[in-house]
Amino acid sequence: MRAEMEKNVTGMDELLAGYAAGTLSYPAQALVGAHLELSDQNRGYVSSLESLGGVSLSDADPVALNDRDSMLSAIFSDDTPLSNDNVPLAQNGTNVPHSLQSIIGRSMEGLPWKTLLPGVKECKFGEIDGCASSLLWVRAGRAMPSHTHHGTELTLVLQGGFSDEDGHFVSGDLAFADGDVDHKPIADEGEDCICFAVTAGRLELTGPVGRWFAPFMR
């Protein structure tokens, strides 16, 4: 168990470092940004990484920009309002974190949910940068089928919470899973659970019930 916890911490640190460096896929970058909006758990760490990156840039030799005047003109003519990615969700005036609005939209109302299993629905947003993104809605107290991953899965809790073999996750928490994880998330009692998930590679159902439902979930 301790080795698994250390592995998860390492994976999370690498994920946050990738976010600070801007090297993650677009959906993963948006997911981590939303995590930082909703939770202060890793803001200090990411801020430190970004500061270190700024120091590295300041020590680097300057590089001439091509067409500098056109670039500056485009920047200063952009009338898009500035946003603070660390503004709590309640202050955004929307039920979707700012970082995810380019994928989900400003509201979850009217989304094309598809029923996967009794009590489990999904809304897919397609594939970007080799990663698939979707919203998952799980009725309170209902369990997802046992599954593992041929790749990685990042899950951000937007509403409610769930528990699996790695612990208990609530709104704002980010969970990381890969091929070494075989889990069965169970939504908390009392409130439906809604998560935003980004996956690289396919999901494999492992339990007997899940294998029976597998042909209907493709």
pLDDT at 216 over 50: no
Per the rule left: phi > 0, alpha: psi between -120 and 50, beta: everything else, 45 is: alpha
171 sits in the region (left: phi over 0; alpha: psi -120 to 50; else beta) called beta
Amino acid code (one letter) for 14: E
The answer to whether residue 27 scores a pLDDT higher than 50 is yes
Q: Per residue in 58-93, pLDDT tens?
A: 444 554 545 545 544 554 554 433 333 333 333 334
Pairing of strands 193-200, 152-159: antiparallel
Higher pLDDT: 211 or 201? It is 201
Given this model, what pLDDT does residue 92 score? 39
How far apart are alpha carbons 86 and 33 in whole angstroms?
8
Are the C-beta atoms of residues 190 and 140 closer than 8 Å to each other? yes
Judge if pTM exceeds 0.85.
no
Among residues of the chain, what percentage have pLDDT more than 70?
Answer: 65
CA distance 126 to 46: 28
Rounded (5°) CA angle 126-93-83: 75
pLDDT over 80 (residue 5): no
**How does residue 99 score in pLDDT terms, banded at 50, 70 and 90?**
very high
In angstroms, how far is the first alpha carbon of the chain from the final one? 33
pLDDT at 25 (0 to 100): 95
Render pLDDT for 102-152 as a digit per residue (tens, 0 to 9).
Answer: 999 999 999 999 998 889 999 999 999 999 999 999 999 998 887 676 778
Whether the predicted pLDDT of 160 surpasses 90: yes
Distances (CA, A) of 40 to 94, 120, 188: 19, 29, 22
Q: Cα separation of 135 and 160, whole Å?
A: 13
CB atoms within 10 A of CB 86: 14
Residue in the block written with tokens 């009392």? 190
pLDDT in the model for residue 215: 45
Q: What is the pLDDT of residue 135?
A: 97
pLDDT at 33: 97
What is the pLDDT of the chain when averaged over all its residues? 77
Q: Which CATH superfamily is domain 111-216 in?
A: Jelly Rolls (2.60.120.10)
